[in-house]
Chain A
Amino acid sequence: MKAIEDQIANKYKHGFVTDIDSDTLPPGLNEDVIRHISRIKNEPQFLLDFRLKAFAHWKTLPKPDWAKLNIEPIDYQAISYYSAPKIDENAPKSLDEVDPKLLETYDKLGIPLHERARLAGVAVDAVFDSVSVATTFKDTLHKAGVIFGSFSEAAQNYPELIEEYLGTVVPIEDNFFAALNSAVFTDGSFVYIPKGVRCPMELSTYFRINAANTGQFERTLIIADEGSHVSYLEGCTAPMRDENQLHAAVVELVAQKDAEIKYSTVQNWYPGDENGVGGIYNFVTKRGDCRGDRSKISWTQVETGSAITWKYPSCLLKGDDSVGEFYSVAVTNNYQQADTGTKMIHIGKNTKSTIIAKGISAGKSNSSYRGLVKILPSAENARNYSQCDSLLMGSTCGAHTFPYIEAKNPTAKIEHEATTSKVSDDQLFYCRQRGISEEDAVNMIVNGFCKSVFQELPMEFAVEAQALLAVSLEGAVG
Chain B
Amino acid sequence: MTTSSNNLAVMKTGANLVLSDLFNSIKLPSEQQKNALTNLLEQGVPTLRTERWRYTTLRKAISNQLKLVDTTTGELPQHPALAGFDAEKVTILNGQLHGAISITGAELNISNDVSKLDSHKHDDGFIDNTNIAFVENTLKLDISKNIEQLIVLHFHHTIASSLLANRLEIVAARNSSATIVVLHTSDNDLNSTLVPVTTLNAGANSQITLINVQDLGSHTFQLAKTHAHLNADSLFKFTQLEIGSQLSRHDVVVDVLGKGAEFVHSNLLHGTEKQVLDTHLDVYHHVDHTQSSMGVKAVLDDKSRGIFNGKIYVEVDAQQVNADLQNNNLLLSKFAEINTKPELEIYADDVKCAHGATVGQLNEESLFYLRSRGLDKEAAEKVLVSAFSRSTYYGLVPSVLEEWLDARLGFES
Residue positions of A touching B, CB distance < 8 A? 67, 375, 377, 390, 392-422
Q: Which residues of B contact A409 (CB under 8 A)?
A: 331, 334
> Are A377's CB and B359's CB within 8 A?
no
Stretch at the interface among B16-24, B242-250, B256-264, B342-350: B342-350
Would you give 20 A-B contacts (Cβ < 8 Å), ordered by A?
A392-B348, A393-B349, A395-B348, A399-B346, A401-B344, A403-B343, A405-B338, A405-B340, A405-B357, A407-B359, A410-B332, A411-B361, A413-B361, A416-B342, A416-B356, A416-B358, A418-B356, A419-B352, A420-B352, A422-B351
- Pick the residue among B347, B350, B359 that contacts A422 (CB under 8 A): B350
Main secondary structure of the interface of B (DSSP, over half): strand
> Are B342's CB and A418's CB within 8 A?
yes
1/0 per residue, CB under 8 A from A, across B333-375: the answer is 1111111111111111111111111111100000000000000
- Pick the residue among B336, B341, B354 that contacts A405 (CB under 8 A): B341
> Are B347's CB and A405's CB within 8 A?
no
> Are A410's CB and B334's CB within 8 A?
yes
B211 CB to nearest chain A CB (Å)? 28
Q: Which residue of A lies closest to B314 (CB)?
A: A420
Q: Tell me whether A420 and B359 are in contact in the complex, defined as CB-CB below 8 angstroms, given that A395-B317, A409-B331 are known contacts.
A: no
- Pick the residue among B51, B316, B334, B355 that contacts A418 (CB under 8 A): B355
Using A398-B347, A410-B361 as known contacts, list a sample of 16 further A-B pairs with CB atoms less than 8 Å apart, ordered by residue number in A: A67-B51, A390-B346, A401-B344, A401-B345, A405-B338, A406-B337, A406-B339, A410-B334, A412-B360, A413-B359, A414-B360, A415-B357, A418-B354, A418-B355, A420-B351, A422-B351
> Are B337's CB and A408's CB within 8 A?
yes
B5 CB to nearest chain A CB (Å)? 28
> Are A412's CB and B331's CB within 8 A?
yes
**Residue B329 CB within 8 A of the other chain:** yes
Q: Which residues of B contact A377 (CB under 8 A)?
A: 334-335
A419 CB to nearest chain B CB (Å)? 5
A289 to B332, CA, bound (A): 30
Q: Which residues of B contact A400 (CB under 8 A)?
A: 343-346
B370 CB to nearest chain A CB (Å)? 19
Q: Tell me whether A405 and B316 are in contact in the complex, defined as CB-CB below 8 angstroms, given that A377-B334, A398-B345 are known contacts.
A: no
Query: Most A CB atoms within 10 A — which of B319, B351, B360?
Result: B360
> Are A416's CB and B349's CB within 8 A?
no
Q: Which residues of A contact B339 (CB under 8 A)?
A: 404-407
Residue positions of B touching A, CB distance < 8 A? 51, 316-317, 319, 329, 331-361
Q: Which residue of A lies closest to B306 (CB)?
A: A407
Q: Which residues of B contact A397 (CB under 8 A)?
A: 347, 349
A396 to B355, CA, bound (A): 22
> Are A410's CB and B331's CB within 8 A?
yes
A397 CB to nearest chain B CB (Å)? 7
Q: Which residues of A contact B357 (CB under 8 A)?
A: 403, 405, 414-416
A392 to B319, CA, bound (A): 12
Q: Which residues of B contact A398 (CB under 8 A)?
A: 345-347
Q: Tell me whether A421 and B352 are in contact in the complex, defined as CB-CB below 8 angstroms, given that A410-B336, A412-B360, A415-B358 are known contacts.
A: yes
- Pick the residue among B333, B338, B340, B344 that contacts A420 (CB under 8 A): B344
Q: Which residues of B contact A413 (CB under 8 A)?
A: 358-361
Q: Which residues of A contact B361 (CB under 8 A)?
A: 410-411, 413
Q: Which residue of A lies closest to B337 (CB)?
A: A408
Q: Tell me whether A422 and B329 are in contact in the complex, defined as CB-CB below 8 angstroms, given that A377-B334, A390-B344, A411-B361 are known contacts.
A: no
A139 to B349, CA, bound (A): 52
> Are B359's CB and A403's CB within 8 A?
no
Q: Which residue of B lies closest to A362 (CB)?
A: B349
A420 to B337, CA, bound (A): 29
B311 CB to nearest chain A CB (Å)? 9
A445 CB to nearest chain B CB (Å)? 14
- Pick the residue among A392, A415, A417 that contacts B354 (CB under 8 A): A417
Q: Which residue of B lies closest to A393 (CB)?
A: B349
- Pick the residue among B347, B353, B359 that contacts A419 (CB under 8 A): B353
A64 CB to nearest chain B CB (Å)? 14
A195 to B358, CA, bound (A): 38
A388 to B51, CA, bound (A): 22
> Are A420's CB and B354's CB within 8 A?
yes
Q: Which residues of A contact B331 (CB under 8 A)?
A: 407, 409-410, 412
Q: Which residues of A contact B345 (CB under 8 A)?
A: 398, 400-401
Q: Tell me whether A402 and B343 are in contact in the complex, defined as CB-CB below 8 angstroms, given that A412-B331, A419-B353, A421-B352 are known contacts.
A: yes
Q: Which residue of A lies closest to B348 (CB)?
A: A395
Q: Which residues of A contact B336 (CB under 8 A)?
A: 410
Q: Which residues of B contact A417 (CB under 8 A)?
A: 354-356
A373 to B318, CA, bound (A): 31
Q: Tell me whether A401 and B334 are in contact in the complex, defined as CB-CB below 8 angstroms, given that A414-B358, A418-B355, A420-B351 are known contacts.
A: no
A407 to B317, CA, bound (A): 36
